[in-house]
């Protein structure tokens, strides 16, 4: 489990990334960290890309309905307008943001803020997703969480798309994706007709 680093010396910010496949508990972990900061009386702001409208547009909601109020923004530049006294910034679904996000969050960390980012590291094709590789490179702390492969029980690192659409961005639920380990992902639709 991730433990917050102690504050040493003068005030300085840092970047944390929580990554993994779909159904790996990324948003749960993001919410856990943000709620603990809020309970400690820290000023917290939560953002997500406007594209993710599968649930209420003003909330970060995990698959098991744990939730936090959030602000939907359509560009990472909007983060620069965060109130200056903000201490902790949460960002969910970071894979959908523009390539400027790593630069923006580094700017915010230099201003003393703690940035906690959750996102899919791989898209459904198994390719690094959007700004996530660069975010992983510039962050101080990385937590990779895993789902469990429903076919073999190993740790799942990939998000297998059950439907045929080829857009990289296809916001969906359990009927459109399933988490898979590397081997079961590579087996493709041979395994797609599992009994449910």
93 is catalytic: yes
Q: Is the Cβ of residue 108 or residue 184 nearer to Zn ion in the bound state?
A: 184
Q: What is the DSSP letter of 77?
A: G
Between 36 and 182, name the residue whose CB sits nearer to Zn ion.
182
Which CB atom, from 112 or from 150, has the smaller least distance to Zn ion? 150
Residue with tokens 């190993």: 154
Please report whether residue 158 would count as binding Zn ion according to CB under 5 A: no
Distances from the Cα of 23 to the Cα of 27, 80, 88, 108, 138, angstroms: 9, 30, 25, 29, 25
The stretch near Zn ion (CB under 5 A) out of 70-78, 91-99, 116-124, 180-188 is 180-188
Q: What is the DSSP string of 110-159?
A: HTT-EEEEEEESB-TTSPBPTTHHHHHHH-SEEEEE-EE-TTT-SEE-EE
In angstroms, what is the minimal distance from the CB of 190 to Zn ion? 12
Least Cβ distance, residue 156 to Zn ion (angstroms): 7
- Of these, 71, 152, 169, 171, which contacts Zn ion (CB under 5 A)? 152
The rounded distance, in Å, linking the Cα atoms of 31 and 91 is 10
Catalytic residue, from 16, 29, 84, 93: name it. Answer: 93
Distance of alpha carbon 19 from alpha carbon 118, whole angstroms: 6
Q: Is residue 149 near Zn ion by the rule CB under 5 A?
A: yes
Active-site residue list: 93
Interacting residues toward Zn ion by CB under 5 A: 149, 151-152, 154, 181, 184
């Amino acid at each position: 489990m991730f433990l917050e680093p102690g504050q040493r010396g003068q005030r300085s910010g840092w970047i944390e990334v929580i990554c993994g496949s779909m159904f790996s508990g990324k948003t749960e972990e993001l919410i856990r960290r943000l709620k603990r900061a809020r309970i400690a009386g820290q000023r917290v702001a939560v953002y997500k890309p406007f594209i993710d409208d599968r649930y209420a547009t003003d909330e970060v909601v995990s698959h098991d309905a744990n939730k936090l109020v959030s602000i939907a923004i359509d560009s990472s530049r909007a983060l620069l307008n965060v109130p200056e006294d903000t201490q902790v910034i949460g960002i969910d679904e970071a894979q959908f943001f523009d390539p400027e996000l790593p630069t923006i969050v580094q700017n915010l960390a230099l201003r003393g803020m703690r940035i906690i980012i959750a996102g899919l590291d791989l898209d459904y094709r198994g390719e690094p997703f959007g700004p996530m590789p660069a975010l992983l490179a510039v962050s101080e702390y990385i937590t990779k969480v895993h789902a469990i492969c429903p076919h073999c029980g190993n740790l799942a690192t990939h998000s297998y798309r059950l439907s045929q659409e080829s857009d990289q961005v296809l916001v969906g639920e359990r009927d459109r994706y399933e988490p898979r380990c590397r081997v079961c992902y590579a087996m493709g639709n041979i395994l797609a007709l599992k009994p449910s």
